[in-house]
């Protein structure tokens, strides 16, 4: 991966982690599972990847 791709993936992982954390919060911003899955699907589509491939790379 190029340096630019690594930076992009770190940013995506950070966003995913924030959404995942917001999903479990009891106060403040709450994100339901559908919102989280929709975000992942949108990011995968904009990256030109399949949903499964995107999730695998996201969780590394």
- Identify which of 23, 22, 3, 8 has the alpha carbon closest to the alpha carbon of residue 54: 8
As a whole-number percent, the residues of the chain with pLDDT over 90 amount to: 2
Indicate the pTM of the whole model: 0.56
48 phi/psi in degrees, rounded to 5: 75, 25
The range of the structural domain enclosing residue 31 comes to 3-58
Q: Please count the structural domains in the chain.
A: 1
Q: What is the pLDDT of residues 3-28, one digit of tens each?
A: 888 888 889 888 888 888 877 665 55
**What is the SS3 assignment for 50?**
coil
């Amino acid at each position: 991966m190029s340096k630019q791709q690594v930076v992009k993936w770190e940013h995506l992982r950070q966003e995913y982690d924030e959404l995942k954390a917001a999903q479990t919060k009891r106060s403040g911003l709450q994100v339901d599972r559908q919102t989280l899955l929709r975000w992942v699907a949108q990011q995968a589509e904009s990256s030109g990847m399949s949903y499964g491939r995107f999730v695998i790379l996201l969780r590394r």
